[in-house]
Chains A and B, each alone.
Chain A
Amino acid sequence: MKQHTFLGAVLGAMICSSTAWAVEPGEAAPAFSVKNVKGEEVTLAAQKGKVVVLEWINYDCPFVKKHYGSGNIPKLQEKYTGKDVVWISVNSSAEGAQGYLAAADLAERSKKEGNKASQIVLDTDGTVGKAYDAKTTPHLFVIDKEGKVAYNGAIDSKNTTDVADIESADSYISLALDAVLEGKSVDKAKTPPYGCGVKYSK
């Protein structure tokens, strides 16, 4: 099944070059270097040997509100950073676009939203977002200890803005993280992310 998808992806990329294919599970995660809200440099290279989560945020997007307002994402952040996972919230909103906040404001807003990520970083020019082909907020990636993409997709299985749906949804991110932490392969390694489009510069 996975092989088939991979083959399809390769052939698809060969035939339809206009289609941007996201980083595929099993591939090396693109390296990056960005600044966090305190102005410190955060690189993927420095996380080597640890499981990393990249989570795209825009606090003004109703789907992000669903998962912060309910406390779902903060709970996940708390749970998995407690298991030595490095959770990085990435804001790729361009300056002037919805969700953009300067470093100090992003730090303050993140605190107010209950964000418990290890790092909150600014990707205002969209470099990291485009390297990963992050499409929506939220959109989540799990990178394993070897630096390979283990999961690329939605936070869970229910594409709605309704908080009541969180409990009955399959939490794809939890399933992926649990598998990776146990050294197992992720069953659903790629799912369609749902939410608002990332507000890249136009």
Chain B
Amino acid sequence: MKLSAIFAAGLPFAMTAFAAEKSGHAAAELITGVTSYQAGKTVPVGIKLKIDVGWHSYWVNPGVGGMPLSAKWTLPEGWTAGELQAPVPKRFMTGDLPGFGYEGEAIYRVDLTPPAGATGDAELKVALSWLTCSGDACVPGDVELSVKLDAGDGAAAKDAAVLAEADKKIPKAVKESTATVAEKDGQVVMTFTLPGDLDIDGILAFPATPEVVDAGAPIVLKKSEEGWTASAPKNEYADGPAKAYDLVLSGGKLAQPVIVQWIGK
């Protein structure tokens, strides 16, 4: 039995701030944007990972080696967990291996939804596992966290602001964009459009789908007649032509990081 779970069970208030739980070289904490839930209405949740200085953890595409964070929810009957949304990563090297992930702090977002007609206390539990590496070693982290919410008016919690801030680093799929992917001369080239006429200056691109492009090579963005192109060498472990490719763009004049999505036919 983990400490936070004992606290959660024993505390008189439905919603409380919990201490982060440490494992390996990071500490994880569950935060919610509301003090109580309303039946059928989404509860915004954050998984805050605080990583020790000198260590890093990994994005959904970890690069070469490494391991993405996994979150397995145990929820009351009828509740559903949305997709785990990871913030924009940075690039780093672990020894000779290029990777994507986080140093310092990362807040993942997930939306949990109670069923229509849900009543009473709801215990929201998650089993997390992640990997932290330094240049010298890799150490996994495993914790179970839980938070209890009562049914109520769904008023904003003080962490709502933290989650709103965290949301600014979560890339959102751009529905208006069009994308095509072609492979030529060992390069994977995505041609895409974005709403508005943004310039490319300062925008960084990250491959969210593993094994499409080489993790160690920068993705080169260029203006083209059809919109933009994002080119990078093909990943050496790609199993044939790419079948899907999510490209994350962040920084520059983008108000919010975005995901340009392509699925092959």
Contacts and interface: CB of A to CB of B under 8 A. Distances in A.
A115 interface: no
Contacts of B131: 62, 161
B240 interface: yes
Nearest to B216: A19
A4 B214 contact: no
Interface string B182-196: 010111000000000
A1 B214 contact: no
Given A16-B233, A135-B65, A196 B238 contact: no
A5 interface: yes
A22 B236 CA distance: 8
A24 B156 CA distance: 56
Interface residues of B, number: 37
Interface stretch (A28-36, A43-51, A74-82, A187-195): A187-195
Most buried by B among A61, A161, A162, A198: A161
Interface in A1-28: 1, 4-5, 8-9, 11-16, 18-19, 21-22
Chain B binding surface, main DSSP class: loop
Given A192-B211, A197-B96, A160 B237 contact: no
Interface residues of A, number: 41
Nearest to B235: A192
B210 A8 contact: no
A67 interface: no
30 contacts: A1-B239, A4-B240, A5-B238, A8-B186, A8-B234, A9-B236, A12-B186, A12-B233, A15-B186, A15-B233, A16-B217, A61-B138, A62-B131, A62-B140, A63-B138, A97-B136, A98-B136, A135-B65, A136-B64, A136-B65, A136-B97, A153-B237, A159-B67, A161-B129, A190-B237, A192-B237, A197-B65, A197-B96, A197-B138, A200-B96
Given A194-B67, A196-B133, A199-B136, 20 more contacts: A4-B240, A9-B236, A11-B185, A11-B186, A15-B185, A16-B233, A18-B217, A19-B214, A19-B236, A21-B236, A63-B138, A135-B97, A159-B68, A160-B70, A160-B129, A161-B131, A188-B239, A191-B237, A197-B138, A198-B96
Interface of A: 1, 4-5, 8-9, 11-16, 18-19, 21-22, 60-63, 97-98, 135-136, 153, 159-162, 188, 190-200, 202
